[in-house]
Amino acid sequence: MSVVASIGSRLSGTDLYLHARNLIGARGGAYVFGRYQSLIKQDAFTALEKDEIDEIKDVCRRRFGSAVYYPYMTLYKTFDQIRPDGGALKDWMPCDFFNRRVLPKINHDYRGISRIKTLSKRLFGSDCFPDLGYIIGGRLLDADMEPVRPSDFVSAHRDNCSVVYIKADDTNSGRGVLRTELTAVDDALVAEIDADCVIQSQIDQHDWFEEFCPGSSATIRINTLFYRSDRPRKVAALLKLPFSGEKYARYNIVRLAVRDDEGNLDQFAVDDENWILTEEHPDSALKFAGRAIPYFRDAAEMCETLHSRLPHIGLIGWDVGIDSTGAPKVMEWNAQNPALDFAEMAAGPMFSGCGFEEALR
């Protein structure tokens, strides 16, 4: 019997609502409230007692200067209770404290540059970005940013790809993406697109991912930190798997932690929309436990190497795909808002020993 089905909830629906409702008055509580309520409704979880929440508030006062940061810590501890040795408070950092106090200080004003997708390959000087060309200022450019006619562009890449993804600047998480046939790139399409875009080749994902979600694009989110050290280091990683016909890691996805440097998966994933706990992929029914992402170490080392070329930014979230040959490719990178709530909860704590609490609160 699965862990999810093995423990009965002690609380009624009304009790669950009232117990979780006290989180909504705190900073960030409205966002956390629904997720906490969803977790404690499920059989694998029991709601925290008042003295446990009081302890969390005391920890927040000592570490972060205020008890208002306790909702995220409550969420993290609730999720951690699924682990055989879990449930004890760890050195987690609440997502709202990190976003408000830490991220602006370690990523500075440079963090917005990650939203300019048309600059990424040139900025990092790496072929790990699958860029074929760009549409900038209404002009079609090749990978070297030289003007090119659409017919010549199509001819140059016809032998290597049939489908391209056109991604607009200042978008992320699969938004602002047009998937089209390579042969559809013509004068009319270039004129129709009213944005600066990168044109990327399709990543034919490795069979390991195809087994989970055939026809969709699985994404590994790898977080690297470059702060008061000689080199960047991976601090967390997640796997995002689409389901129900979703092509990108955008709407219908489950996400789960990558537990170690060998790419071993966590046993539990969470449905991104409803925060429903699952031990298997919703479509393929493949179990997560006992599986490891192939070429994960190569992907992590690639992200660390790329980050070392941009020391201006302290924390970067990389969205990586592994192609059919095992080569890691960067779909996009994010320094504006790396979305750390699930990563810290499932794969953290990420920032133990960094001294962020004392220096930046």
Q: What is the CATH number of domain 205-351?
A: 3.30.470
- Rounded to the nearest integer, the mean pLDDT of the chain is 87
For the segment 250-296, what is each residue's pLDDT rounded down to a tens digit?
Answer: 668 899 999 999 999 999 999 988 888 999 999 999 999 999 999 99
Decide if domain 131-201 falls under CATH 3.30.450: no
Contacts of 146 (CB under 8 A, 6+ apart): none
Query: Could you read off the pLDDT tens digit of each residue along the chain, which spans 361 residues?
Result: 333 333 334 444 444 444 455 555 555 566 788 888 888 888 666 788 889 999 999 999 999 999 989 999 999 999 998 887 788 899 999 998 998 889 999 998 888 899 999 999 999 999 999 999 999 999 999 999 999 999 999 999 999 899 999 999 987 655 668 889 999 999 999 999 989 999 999 999 999 999 998 888 899 999 999 998 999 999 999 999 998 766 555 668 899 999 999 999 999 999 988 888 999 999 999 999 999 999 999 999 999 999 999 999 999 999 999 999 999 999 999 999 877 889 999 988 999 888 888 765 5
Which residues touch 165 (CB under 8 Å, ≥6 apart)?
A: 177, 178, 179, 199, 200, 201, 202
> What pLDDT, on the 0 to 100 scale, is given for residue 16?
46
The pLDDT value recorded for residue 26 is 55
Instruction: Give pLDDT, residue 172.
Output: 64
Residue pair 308/232 in contact (Cβ under 8 Å)? The answer is: yes
> Are the beta carbons of 140 and 149 closer than 8 angstroms?
yes
According to the model, what pLDDT value does residue 58 have? 95
| Verdict on whether the full-model pTM lies above 0.75 | yes
Domain boundaries, the chain: 3-92, 131-201, 205-351
Q: What is the pLDDT of residues 141-171, one digit of tens each?
A: 999 999 999 999 999 999 989 999 999 998 7
Q: Tell me, what's the pLDDT at 279?
A: 95
What is the Rg, in whole angstroms, of the alpha carbon atoms belonging to the chain? Answer: 22
Query: What does the pLDDT read at residue 230?
Result: 92
Strands (E), 117-250: 131-136, 139-142, 163-168, 177-181, 197-201, 219-225, 233-242
